[in-house]
């Protein structure tokens, strides 16, 4: 085989799960960011109608789907994006993993993917799947250190990824600076904004506030509405890039199921259920964050997302994860899964019901 896929990162956590499960009441798995709370009932009701299930759905998204996404962008970010400047994707992970490949077909003189040094691993994997160079960009204060990009890497760059709010750190990036850097270097900037609804510092931000030329914003319904299982999202931005991706993805057969499009359009129309979910995540972050700090773990409140990015003096991320499993039953993700620079940290996702988060907090307090 000329390409051997690496092990999936979260498959490495079985040992931690065994340790955590020894607690009375069992393990509390906060390792993967899979929503646990109920999606909106009206969305589930619409999904059950199976609207449009007999025919092939439009790959770019139905007019109704794209209008709903456009309307949400206007309400959430106060930006005007025409429905023609956005298109559906089958969840955002497949888009992240395939973007570099499709862009390289369009522009084969560039062979490098730039991505945050501490980040969701699929940015780098997308480069590997396209047989391109993956070059991490150092972080400074939680934002991309654009000045640290080697000029030779910039000249070869096909795309620069930003992720704000960040998975795993919860930091907010300087999206205006990223957009400006991309235009100065003729590099497309892809801004993964799927946690934007859970922005705690100031208000939600999008790179589209800084114009649409040479940028894409990527959004997902998975976290916003607890609908990770339906696999739906959208990308928006530069009209030429969106038009190109719409066509190539149509040829590739990338289509969000029609019943899903009908249901997700309703979810994008409604903001009340997101406000309710924001309160849930904010409460969990505070309950567990306070308990961790009392137990000697450093975990500043995140600027966004529903993750705590933690460290403990004298421990690397795997040691911290093992300690948390032993004393609290928490299963968390060692930061090394998100790049070598995350090696001394661990990520904790607020994806257990309140009573389980409170149980973890009580166990931590008992250990202190």
Domain harbouring 247, CATH code: 3.40.640.10
Same domain (yes/no): 45, 187: yes
Q: Which two tokens stand for residue 289?
A: 């964050």
Q: Is residue 1 part of a domain?
A: no
pLDDT at 7 (0 to 100): 86
Contacts of 160 (CB under 8 A, 6+ apart): 114, 115, 137, 144, 178, 181, 182, 187, 188, 189, 190
In 16-119, at which residue ranges do the beta strands (DSSP E only) sit?
A: 28-29, 86-89, 112-116
CA distance 326 to 315: 14
Same domain for 264 and 278, yes or no, is no
Quick: pLDDT tens for 267-289: 999 999 999 999 999 999 999 99
- Give the end of a domain, one of 222, 241, 269: 269
Q: Is residue 35 part of a domain?
A: no
The confidence score (pLDDT) of residue 367 equals 84
Tell me the residue ranges of DSSP E strands in the chain. Answer: 28-29, 86-89, 112-116, 133-137, 139-140, 143-144, 157-163, 188-192, 215-220, 233-237, 307-310, 330-331, 333-334, 346-349
Q: Are residues 80 and 165 in the same domain?
A: yes
What pLDDT, on the 0 to 100 scale, is given for residue 118? 98
Looking at the fold, whether 118 and 220 belong to one and the same domain comes out as yes
What mean pLDDT is predicted for residues 193-204? 96
Q: Mean pLDDT throughout 186-198?
A: 98
Question: Which tokens in the block code for residue 28?
Answer: 């509390």
Confidence of residue 6 (pLDDT cuts 50, 70, 90): confident
Identify the burial level of 48 via C-beta atoms within 10 angstroms of its C-beta, where 0-12 means exposed, 13-18 middle and 19 or more buried: exposed
41-48 vs 258-269: helix crossing angle, rounded to 10: 160
* pLDDT surpasses 90 at 258: yes
The number of distinct structural domains making up the chain is 2
Same domain, 307 and 236: no
Do 71 and 197 lie in one domain? The reply is yes
> Please, what sign has the CA dihedral across residues 181, 185, 186, 187?
negative
| pLDDT surpasses 90 at 295 | yes
Instruction: Compute the average pLDDT of residues 22-50.
Output: 97
Of the pLDDT bands very low, low, confident and very high (cuts 50, 70, 90), residue 187 is very high
With a cut of 80, say whether residue 368 has pLDDT above it.
no
SS3 category, 191: strand
Residue 73 resides in a domain: yes
pLDDT above 90: percentage of residues in the chain: 95
Q: Please indicate, yes or no, if residue 213 is contained in any of the structural domains.
A: yes
| Torsion sign, CA atoms 44, 262, 53, 83 | negative
Q: Please report the pLDDT score of residue 146 as a whole number.
A: 98
Contact residues for 147 (Cβ-Cβ < 8 A; gap 6+): none
Q: What is the CATH number of the domain that holds 323?
A: 3.90.1150.10
Q: What is the mean pLDDT of residues 14-43?
A: 96
pLDDT tens-digit map of 335-366: 999 999 999 999 999 999 999 999 999 999 98
Tell me the helix, strand and coil percentages in the chain, rounded to 5. 50, 15, 35
Collapsing DSSP to helix, strand or coil, 199 comes out as strand
Phi-psi region of 2 (alpha: psi -120 to 50; beta: other; left: phi over 0): alpha
Whether residues 256 and 190 share a domain: the answer is yes
Mean pLDDT of 135-155: 97
Tell me whether residue 77 is in a domain.
yes
Q: Specify whether 243 is located in the same domain as 316.
A: no
pLDDT band at 184 (very low <50, low <70, confident <90, very high): very high
> How confident is the model at residue 210, as a pLDDT?
98
Look at strands 333-334 and 330-331 and give their pairing.
unpaired
What is the overall mean pLDDT for the chain? 97
In the chain, what percentage of residues exceed pLDDT 70?
100
Return the pLDDT at 12: 86
Co-location of 110 and 255 in the same domain = yes
Do both 97 and 180 map to the same domain?
Answer: yes
Question: Does the pLDDT at position 125 exceed 90?
Answer: yes
264 and 281 co-located in one domain = no
Q: Rg (Cα) of the chain, in Å, rounded?
A: 20
**What confidence tens digit (pLDDT) does each residue in 39-97 have?**
999 999 999 999 999 999 999 999 999 999 999 999 999 999 999 999 999 999 999 99
Domain's final residue, options 249, 269, 289: 269
Residue where one domain finishes, among candidates 226, 253, 269: 269
Q: In a 3-state reduction of DSSP, which class is residue 310?
A: strand
The answer to whether residue 2 sits within a structural domain is no
Give the pLDDT confidence score for residue 1 in this predicted structure.
75
Domain assignment of residue 132, given as a range: 41-269
- Residues 199, 333, single domain; the answer is no
């Amino acid at each position: 085989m000329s390409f051997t896929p690496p092990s999936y990162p979260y498959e490495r956590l079985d040992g931690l799960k065994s340790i955590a499960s020894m607690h009375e009441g069992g393990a509390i798995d906060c390792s993967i960011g899979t929503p646990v709370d109920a999606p909106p009932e009206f969305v589930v009701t619409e999904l059950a109608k199976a609207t449009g299930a007999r025919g092939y759905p439009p790959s770019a998204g139905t007019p109704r789907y794209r209008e709903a996404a456009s309307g949400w962008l206007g309400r959430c970010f106060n930006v005007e994006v025409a429905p023609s400047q956005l298109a559906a994707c089958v969840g955002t992970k497949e888009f992240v993993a395939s973007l570099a490949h499709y862009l390289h077909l369009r522009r084969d003189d560039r062979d490098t993917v730039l991505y945050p040094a501490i980040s969701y691993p699929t940015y780098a994997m997308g480069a590997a799947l396209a047989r391109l160079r993956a070059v991490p960009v150092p972080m400074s204060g939680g934002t991309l250190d654009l000045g640290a990009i080697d000029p030779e890497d910039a000249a070869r760059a096909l795309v620069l990824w930003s992720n704000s709010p960040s998975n795993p750190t919860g930091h907010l990036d300087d999206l205006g600076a990223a957009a400006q850097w991309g235009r100065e270097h003729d590099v497309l900037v892809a801004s993964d904004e799927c946690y934007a609804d859970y922005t705690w510092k100031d208000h939600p931000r999008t790179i589209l506030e800084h114009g649409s030329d040479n940028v894409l914003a990527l959004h997902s319904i998975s976290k916003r509405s607890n609908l990770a299982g339906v696999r739906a999202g959208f990308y928006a931005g530069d009209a030429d890039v969106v038009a190109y991706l719409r066509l190539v993805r149509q040829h590739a057969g990338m289509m969000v199921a029609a019943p899903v499009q009908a249901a997700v359009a309703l979810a994008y129309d409604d903001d009340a259920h997101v406000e309710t979910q924001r309160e849930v995540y904010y409460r969990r972050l505070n309950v567990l964050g306070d308990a961790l700090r009392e137990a000697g773990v450093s975990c500043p409140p995140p600027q966004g997302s529903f993750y705590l990015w933690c460290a403990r003096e004298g421990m690397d991320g795997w040691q911290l994860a093992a300690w948390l499993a032993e004393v609290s039953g928490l299963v968390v993700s060692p930061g090394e899964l998100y790049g070598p620079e995350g090696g001394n940290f661990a990520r904790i996702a607020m994806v257990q019901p309140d009573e389980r988060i409170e149980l973890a907090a009580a166990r931590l307090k008992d250990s202190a």
